[in-house]
Amino acid sequence: MKRLLLVLMVFCACGAFAAGGFWKAMNAIQKTVDVANAVNDIANSGTSQSTSTAQPQAPSAAPQATVTPAAAPAPAPAASVPAPAAPAVDAAPFAAMRTTATETAVPNVQYGMIYVTKPATPEQIAAAKKAYLEDGREPEDARLKFEKVDDATVGATIAAFRDATSVEMKETKLESLAPFALLGNVRRISLNKVTCADTSPFAHCAKLQALELRYCTVSDFSGFAALQNLETIDLYGSNVSGSFAPLATCSKLKKIDYYAVKGDPALYDSLGTLKQVKEFHGGLTKMTSLKWLLNVPQTEALVVFSEKIDDLSPISTLANLTHFKGWSMDGGSMAPALGDLSFLANCKKLTKLELPSSSYTSTAIIGTFADIEELDLSRAKQPVDVSFVKKLPKLKRISLYGTDVINGNAIPSSVKIYKDKNTKGL
């Protein structure tokens, strides 16, 4: 074999020299060397290193994500070390998925949005992509919106528009999230009422910035650990189990919303592992303690809504807090009252304070927050003395909807007052 290649090299070089001189001869020799190396590699590799080809799954089932090249799994990273980037995924098996629905339709394309509200065949999806491109749109600008469709339609559509920047989905029961592994360019994903048992496909969404999992079921956050561009995660109304700890490696994560999340009290303790997060928005959960706040002194915004938490003192450790909202903390059966607000004494950087529908015994401490710009004391459960306002030189807006106000004349004319017919004392 080597002798044959040597003869071929000399032959090609001579012919090239005759046709175009020295440089063509050198190019011909280089190409022949490249061919020789390739042939040699193939001969040495044998059949033991042949590349496997992903086979399409049955039409009604989402294929497993096929990655190339295959590699031995890396050891699990430490909590503070970002997970390694996920390898590329083969789109072909997903593109071949075919719906079994009898009623299908071409997805509707409008203003850069692809609306998929009925099952669609690969041919119909191709027609939608053609219409999208003929409209002068770029593939990376595509936005997908799914509603009431099947796995096959989702898989084939994502394969066709895998450069999409936004994906929304509601009332769609997926057996697998595998197609999401194709979305390497996506910036925003919004899922509603979807079960996320296996979150590993999200590891491929390297550019993802905003993730909404509303009314979903989430049992594992490890698939999000490699998302170094993730900035916000919204879990509104979801059933959550496990731990938030895997999110600690998402270096750009700044805000987590766990409002109305259904999970055991211990779940919320793991919020204390998120030392990069600046905003914690919660409420209506089974949280019973705020001790986890002792581990996240970087917190700048905290929302507590109707939580049955008796000890609010951990809030006093948040010296960087600029926004606090204590909503419906009224002393009823659902949540304790806020007392004299002394738990805020060390939060001198506050610029926004909201205490709507809450009960408290004194407002004097508010007068010590010289940087306050926005104040909400709406629907207070007791009359509110606002004489402290004259000590707030930066105050711009105060909301007093439905509140019985005392010393209302202390509010300067420069401050915008929001009130309604149920407001008294103004």
Dihedral pair phi/psi, residue 153, rounded to 5°: -65, -40
Distance CA 42, CA 222 (A): 38
Contact criterion met (CB below 8 Å) for 322 and 301 = yes
- Note down pLDDT in tens along the chain; length 426 residues: 444 444 444 444 444 444 444 334 444 444 444 444 444 443 444 443 333 333 344 444 555 554 444 444 444 444 455 555 556 788 999 999 999 999 999 999 998 899 999 999 999 999 999 999 998 899 889 999 999 999 999 999 999 999 999 999 988 888 889 999 999 999 999 999 988 888 999 999 999 999 999 999 999 999 999 999 999 999 999 999 999 999 999 999 999 999 999 999 999 999 999 999 999 999 999 999 999 999 999 999 999 999 989 899 999 999 999 999 999 998 886 788 999 999 999 999 999 999 999 999 999 999 999 999 999 999 999 999 999 999 999 999 999 999 999 999 999 999 999 999 999 999
Contact criterion met (CB below 8 Å) for 144 and 158 = yes
Q: What is the 3-state secondary structure (H, E, C) of the chain?
A: CHHHHHHHHHHHHHHHHHHHCHHHHHHHHHHHHHHHHHHHHHHHHCHHHCCCCCCCCCCCCCCCCCEECCCCCCCCCCCCCCCCCCCEECCHHHHCCCCCCCCCCCCEEECCEEEECCCCCHHHHHHHHHHHHHCCCCHHHCEEEEECCCHHHHHHHHHHCCCCCEEEEECCCCCCCHHHHHCCCCCEEEEECCEECCCHHHHHCCCCCEEEEECCEECCCHHHCCCCCCCEEECCCCEECCCCHHHHHCCCCCEEECCCCECCHHHHHHHHHCCCCCEEECCCCCCCCCHHHHHCCCCCEEEEECCCCCCCHHHHHCCCCCEEEEECCCCCCCCCCCCCCHHHCCCCCCCEEECCCCCCCCCHHHHHCCCCCEEECCCCCCCEECHHHHHCCCCCEEECCCCEEECHHHCCCCCEEECCCCCECC
Q: Measured in whole angstroms, how far is the alpha carbon of residue 410 from the centre of its chain?
A: 44
Contact criterion met (CB below 8 Å) for 86 and 178 = no
Dihedral pair phi/psi, residue 353, rounded to 5°: -130, 125
Which has the closest alpha carbon to 364: 336, 387, 348, 343? 387
Which has the closest alpha carbon to 126: 109, 101, 138? 109
Residues 6+ apart with CB under 8 A from 26: none
Distance CA 116, CA 138 (A): 19
Asked whether the whole model's pTM tops 0.85, one would answer no
